Structure 1
Amino acid sequence: MGTRLQGKVALVSGAARGQGRAHAVRLAEEGADIIAFDVCRQLDTVPYPLATPEDLQETVALVEKLDRRIIARTADVRDDAAVRAVVADGVAELGRLDVVIANAGIATFAENTWSLTDAAWDEMIGVNLTGVFRTVRAAIPAMIEAGNGGSIVITSSTAGLKGMGHIAHYSAAKHGVVGLARTLAIELAPHSIRVNTVHPTGVNTPMVVNEQTGAFLDGNTGLQNLLPVSMVEAADVANAVLWLTSDEGRYITGVSLPVDAGFLQR
């Protein structure tokens, strides 16, 4: 157990498994209490299995095993009232809010941009962009009111820094959160709240390790990392997130941090 986030409270979206769970557990290892939420049901356009309520309870158990407090709720990031309720409940129970990890996201694919359906486009933008906006919009007033400064980290992607075929809706959303973060970094600097994005390459999580995503990766031989690894681990991204949220990153704001094994150098 470390102490880099001792006494602080972190909100993590998409916390039931994958990167979100890794972030919640890593921040708890450094002393943070956690407000966690996830949709915990299947979405209409997503072909691979999404997280379940049981997955979220596993995250709860892992955080509690570290002797940290956690408030966990089922909520859709697109549902403004539900997200606001998660933040309100968490702050009421844990007393403050210092860190926001806007991580919830989905991945789907299409033959090309013009074959994307309205449903696929709308659900992707709703979860991966609008959901991030609603998460930070709900959280920021509590952070400002607390007066302790803080850190917001948004999960983008290497597809948020370069174009990629077959994922126009995903890439558009992940580019969009970069613009959102850069604007928030300017607006929140007077409150000593820092805002950054992380940009992973493929991560060894259920969103990537499934038949649908595997078929996309197999059909795109240009999607190769510079370092000799096919994917990074969720823990690798969580360590970067921890650095950005801790005092070690206290003067880092408005940046797009790749955790990409050199993928963007290709």
Structure 2
Amino acid sequence: MGQFDGKVVYITGIARGQGRNHALRFAREGAAIIGLDIAGPVAEHATYPSATTGDFAETIRLVEEAGGKILARQGDTRDLAFQQELVADGVEQFGGLDHVIANAGILTWGKVWELSEEQFTDVVDVNLVGTWKTLKATIPAMLEAGNGGSIVVISSVAGLKAMPMQASYSASKFGLRGLTQTAAKELGHYRIRVNSVHPYAVDTPMGVADTEAHRIFGMPWVTPHLTSVLDYHPVASLDEISDAVLYLSSDGAKAITGAEFQIDMGNSKV
């Protein structure tokens, strides 16, 4: 018996990294997965490897290998009609929608006045507007089911403490805090809880294989902003993030909404 037996979970950005791990963890606990990922280049200015169609196919294989049911399609969170169709088809196939994990996001680097227009708008459109479209596509299905449930929005420590060289990313992640708080207040009387998770560095391609990040982290004036309390544990594992996501989605967190759950090794406190 799994703690999410019979539940249906919608996850964005499932091709690899955090999204894939969340999908696997929920599937192992008995949930059916509805998932999406663009599984390709999102923006020309990204300086880390893009997810691929092969990554996407591997997530599906791993979920099914774990005994899970999954409906997954390649698509962009910025495409509201695509998300609405995927939700409708998933609800028809699995019988409802209980939990949403708004995970998809991108990152770019540069000083406020040196970012290109694309570097700013692409990141805000994917991270903030795309997450709003995820909520717009999924909340009606949750309300129609009338079973309550939960939404977890993946923000960042950069949404708690602005980071240098990350103006568009920080702006988008701060925006997710406001979106999460508003949704929590609007959905509480429907028994739907809404919380945000705020990681620092995570063991993903975006987290550890970004060539521009490695260059910027070596700048002496940037370093003080990037230190943490737990400097002996600089990068969180995927399971450390998924542990929080599953907890916030579980009955064990039934008294928690509007929370900002930090997994940042204390970086936001430095």
Distance 2:8 2:176 in 1: 23
Distance 2:103 2:256 in 1: 19
Offset at 1:214?
A: 2.1
Q: Which residue of 2 aligns with 1:230?
A: 234
Q: Which residue of 1 aligns with 2:178?
A: 179
Q: Which residue of 2 aligns with 1:255?
A: 259
Q: CA RMSD in A?
A: 1.1
Q: Which residue of 2 aligns with 1:206?
A: 205
How many residues of Structure 1 are paired with residues of Structure 2 in the alignment?
Answer: 264
> Any residues of structure 2 matched to 1:21-32 within 5 Å, and which?
21-32=20-31
Paired residue type of 1:47: T
> Any residues of structure 2 matched to 1:133-172 within 5 Å, and which?
133-172=132-171
2:220 is the alignment partner of 1:221: no
Q: Which residue of 1 aligns with 2:17?
A: 18
Q: Which residue of 1 aligns with 2:83?
A: 83
SS of 1:101's partner is: strand
SS of 1:238's partner is: helix
Q: Which residue of 2 aligns with 1:36?
A: 35
Offset at 1:216?
A: 2.7
Q: Which residue of 2 aligns with 1:46?
A: 46
Q: Deviations over 1:81-100 (max 9, x none)?
A: 11112211211111110000
Q: Which residue of 2 aligns with 1:108?
A: 108
Distance 1:151 1:37 in 2: 18
Paired residue type of 1:71: L
Distance 1:27 1:214 in 2: 32
TM-score by length of 1: 0.97
Offset at 1:41?
A: 1.2
Q: Which runs of 4+ in 1 moved over 6 A?
A: none
| Deviating more after overlay: 148-157 vs 24-33 | 24-33
Distance 1:62 1:135 in 2: 24
Give yes or no for contact 1:45–1:123 (8 Å, CA) kept in 2.
no
What stretches of structure 2 of length at least 5 have no aligned partner? none
Give yes or no for contact 2:158–2:173 (8 Å, CA) kept in 1.
yes
What stretches of structure 1 of length at least 5 have no aligned partner? none
| Deviating more after overlay: 190-199 vs 212-221 | 212-221
Offset at 1:243?
A: 0.2
Give yes or no for contact 1:106–1:127 (8 Å, CA) kept in 2.
yes
TM-score by length of 2: 0.95
Give yes or no for contact 1:157–1:199 (8 Å, CA) kept in 2.
yes
Q: Deviations over 1:4-50 (max 9, x none)?
A: 11110000000100111111111112111101100111123323221
Distance 2:34 2:60 in 1: 10
Distance 2:16 2:248 in 1: 21
Give yes or no for contact 2:159–2:172 (8 Å, CA) kept in 1.
yes
Distance 1:93 1:68 in 2: 14
| Deviating more after overlay: 212-221 vs 21-30 | 212-221
Give yes or no for contact 2:28–2:67 (8 Å, CA) kept in 1.
no
Paired residue type of 2:102: A
Offset at 1:221?
A: 1.8
Q: Which residue of 2 aligns with 1:246?
A: 250
Give yes or no for contact 1:208–1:214 (8 Å, CA) kept in 2.
no
Paired residue type of 2:183: L
Distance 1:218 1:89 in 2: 47
Offset at 1:179?
A: 0.3
